[in-house]
Amino acid sequence: MFTREESFVASFGIVVVAIVVVLMGVTSWWIVRSQQELMVSSRLDQVRQVAGLMSQSAEALMISDNLSPLRRLIVENSQKYELQVCRVVLPDGTIVADADPSRIATTPLPANWSGGEGITASEDHGAGRVAVRRPLAVAGRGEAVLEIVADVNGISFWDAWETLAGIGAIGSLAMVAMLLIYRRTRSRLRALGAIREALLMYKGEHTPAEFLKVSPDFGIEAQAWNEFLNETEKLRDQHKRDEVNDRLDSRQRGTRGLDDACDTMPYGLILVGKEIRVQYANGAAAAFVQADRQAMMGSPLDQFMTQTEVLDAVKTAATGTSRRRAVIVDEIETDSGYTVLRYIVRPVRRTDPGDAMVIIEDITQQRVAEKTRNEFVAQVAHELRTPLSNIRLYAESLLEDGDDTTLRAKAINVINIETKRLARLVSDMLSVAEIEAGSMKLSADDVQLGDIFHELQADYEQQADEKNIDLSFNLPPKVPVIHADRDKFLMALHNLVSNALKYTANDGRVSVELQVQPNQIVVEVADTGYGISEEDQQKIFERFYRARDERLASIPGTGLGLSLAREIVRLHGGDITLDSQVGQGSTFTLSLPHHVEAA
């Protein structure tokens, strides 16, 4: 049996051979037929010529009454031209001359005869023969007829064997040549046949290339075809990949904005699927649980989260057991203190449970602020209570024993000092509120610095005496007038001086020195107090901050004074700096630009 490809080649060969054979047959038939027609036509011409020449000669011989040469002429030409009938006949049927002498009816010609008028030349064809009649006019005696009958069959089909043999030889040579060509082109034909078969089996773009491939043994055409299929397959794959990538790209483009937005959120966001596996986590969530974001995707949540309360809430939400949100607050100890995280867990959909969402929020700052605020309230209450208690105590003493002049003088002095302290405290708090709201305004005026320092000295002398602190004010001989907001500037100085006295132990020293420099005035408030650690030096200017120093724990304060003093000085274009050593003391340096000085 032929293989698939060979059957094509075989059928192709059979068709070609059949065409060649038919062509040979048609050619042979046409050539033989042409030959026959040519022979018939030339035979007719020959018979006509012979009839014409013989009729002329016969007329002349009959006029001269010379019958013997006439009869010889008839016999010779009849043999020479293979005539079936050749004779001269009178109108009454008397044969004057004939190829067969035995048929001659008369030896001499009659003197005359009748019945020959109107004889015309004629030519009858039929059954492979031609009958030619020619009138012979014998002057004065009448007319006779020359009758010739000859075969005009030409040659038979087989008589043309030379021609046929020639054609056969040419055909055979052609076939041999074709066989040789076939043998040489057989591999190509097999490749083409195989490719043709493959094409017939092609059922659209989903036909696998492997199905259409042909044996590479069929030659370079087959290999080229397979290569073509490979390339087509690659292009199709590439096209599919491009399509998928385009779809992914467009989908990602669609959600990229959302992803980016989620990543910029300070909140951690985790989406959890049915099996409590992470479906999505934003950057903040990965940071909160200290895991790699990519590693989180698709992994069980409990690989990254240990808080059982949160995990339980997630399970409850994801399984649809509860539709309500759960809030869990977790405080974690860290190297730098503590971190407070708030987890909000809720189902994603109200119906069709399966996904839960965890939002993680760092509320450490809020906690610290709350704590500070509470401490502040407690401190303020304490700060208010102390002067109020003193005022109340001395006011009651005055009411009971107002006539005692010594007591009265002391009471009035204490009430005066404590009232001022209260007023400063309230003023500090109001100023902080103003600064916080950004509404603090300076009402600048000419300020006599000399007056300010005298006022300060008067206010703090007694306090210094109580602690046996050496409080000194060193002013230059010429104290300038500056352009500033008097009350606020005084408030800043009050805070520095009161701190120096507050944070210096008994028997210490506090000095306030004013320096007038070319471009600025400088006030140095130095004490020999407890000093401030380097770590706290960075923070004591922050609002509500109080140094974490056990020695100072019992000293009341709000943590507002320094921040307020610095804000005020900065609003004037100056600054406050600090130089301090624990156990040695502190020096706060307040500087104001020179241009604020009055002329």
Instruction: Give the binding site for ligand ADP (CB under 6 A).
Output: 495, 499-500, 503, 527, 529-530, 532, 540, 546-547, 552, 557-563, 586
* Spatial contact of 324 and 318, defined as CB atoms under 8 Å apart: no
H or E segment at 34?
helix 4-63
Q: Least Å distance between CB 423 and ligand ADP?
A: 16
Q: Least Å distance between CB 557 and ligand ADP?
A: 2
Residue number, nearest CB to ligand ADP = 557
Cβ proximity to ligand ADP: between 563 and 591 the closer is 563
Which phi and psi angles does 576 have, rounded to 5°?
Answer: -125, 130
Per-residue DSSP letters for 91-103? TTS-EEEESSGGG
* Spatial contact of 116 and 108, defined as CB atoms under 8 Å apart: no
Cβ proximity to ligand ADP: between 284 and 471 the closer is 471
* Spatial contact of 302 and 320, defined as CB atoms under 8 Å apart: no
Q: Helices marked H in 269-363 — which ranges?
A: 283-289, 293-296, 308-318
Cβ proximity to ligand ADP: between 532 and 592 the closer is 532
Cβ proximity to ligand ADP: between 18 and 555 the closer is 555
Q: Least Å distance between CB 381 and ligand ADP?
A: 13
Distance CA 514, CA 335 (A): 44
Q: Least Å distance between CB 396 and ligand ADP?
A: 28
Cβ-in-10-Å burial (0-12, 13-18, 19+) of 183 comes to: exposed
Name the DSSP class of 109: P
Q: Least Å distance between CB 546 and ligand ADP?
A: 4
Cβ proximity to ligand ADP: between 313 and 568 the closer is 568
Q: Least Å distance between CB 431 and ligand ADP?
A: 12
Q: Least Å distance between CB 592 and ligand ADP?
A: 20
From the CA atom positions of the chain, what is the Rg in Å?
Answer: 71
Cβ proximity to ligand ADP: between 230 and 584 the closer is 584
Token pair listed for 555: 């000293």
Q: Given its phi and psi angles, is residue 176 left (phi above 0), alpha (psi -120 to 50 degrees) or beta?
A: alpha
Q: Return the SS3 of 145.
A: strand
CA atoms within 13 Å, Cβ hemisphere of 568: 29
Q: Least Å distance between CB 522 and ligand ADP?
A: 17
Cβ proximity to ligand ADP: between 214 and 492 the closer is 492
Residue type, 153: N
Angle, helices 561-571 vs 486-502, to 10°: value is 150
Q: Least Å distance between CB 375 and ligand ADP?
A: 10
* Spatial contact of 491 and 565, defined as CB atoms under 8 Å apart: yes
Cβ proximity to ligand ADP: between 59 and 527 the closer is 527
Cβ proximity to ligand ADP: between 152 and 547 the closer is 547
Which phi and psi angles does 86 have, rounded to 5°?
Answer: -150, 110
